[in-house]
Amino acid sequence: MFVNTELLEFIRLKNPLSSVIGKYEVITNACCKCPFCHSKTNSLNLFHDEIYTCFHCGESGDVFGFVSKIENLSFAETVRKMAKASKIYTLEELKQKNIFRFWDRFLILCEHYHIAADSVLREYSSDSSELTKEYLLGLKYSKEEPDTAPLENIMQMKYGTLKEFWNAAPEHIMEYLTAERKHNA
Ligand SMILES: [Zn+2]
């Protein structure tokens, strides 16, 4: 099981603690009954929608800890299950997949122009409200086709990448880039 912090962060973003615990207990003012010790009072407290603690039985953790405990799953099983439910690719799936997504094209493009993908993203996410962390994580890990326009526009402005590049069949991508390089030479 491959896990990285980005992947966990994205799963977390998609699964606020309150919405996960809310499937089991009624939450009022960040408190609810504890599904572990079945307390009669609202002994379970949520802090910043990230950490829960029960002041009756002492049970405590984050959203992964909660799901793992209540469903009796290992950490790896929990991550896999939550990724699946949130339509997120696990790193295993990304390794095995033979589909070609926008994110892969973006990385190829950066390689082609000898630029660091990170620097492009850092440069533009500082002055563009569109390139949020969630947006970028969505491009990397989401199984749902995200809106790629913000990054497409940036690459078009900066490197003149045409729309066709993003839609080109995988086997034609390198051809496209080679032709474009000759054209500009
Ligand atoms: Zn408890």
Distance 55 CA to ligand 1 centre (A): 7
3-class secondary-structure state, position 144: coil
Between the CA of 82 and the centroid of ligand 1 the distance, in Å, is: 23
**Do 67 and 77 touch, CB atoms closer than 8 A?**
no
Would you kindly state where each structural domain of the chain is located, as residue ranges? 5-94, 102-184
Secondary structure of the chain: what % helix, strand, coil (to 5)? 55, 10, 35
Distance 6 CA to ligand 1 centre (A): 30
Where is pLDDT greater, at 35 or 134? 35
Phi/psi of residue 184, nearest 5 degrees: -85, -10
SS3 of 17-30: the string is HHHHHCCCCCCECC
Q: Report how far ligand 1's centroid is from the alpha carbon of 67 (Å).
A: 15
Topology annotation, domain 5-94: DNA Primase; Chain A (3.90.580)
For the stretch 13-32, pLDDT in tens is 999 999 999 999 999 999 99
Taking the centre of ligand 1 as the mean of its atom positions, its distance from the CA of residue 56, in whole angstroms, is 5
For 46-67, how does the pLDDT look when each residue is reduced to its tens digit (9 = 90+)?
999 999 999 999 999 999 999 9
Q: Averaged over 63-86, what is the pLDDT?
A: 96
Q: Cα(154) to centroid of ligand 1, in Å?
A: 50
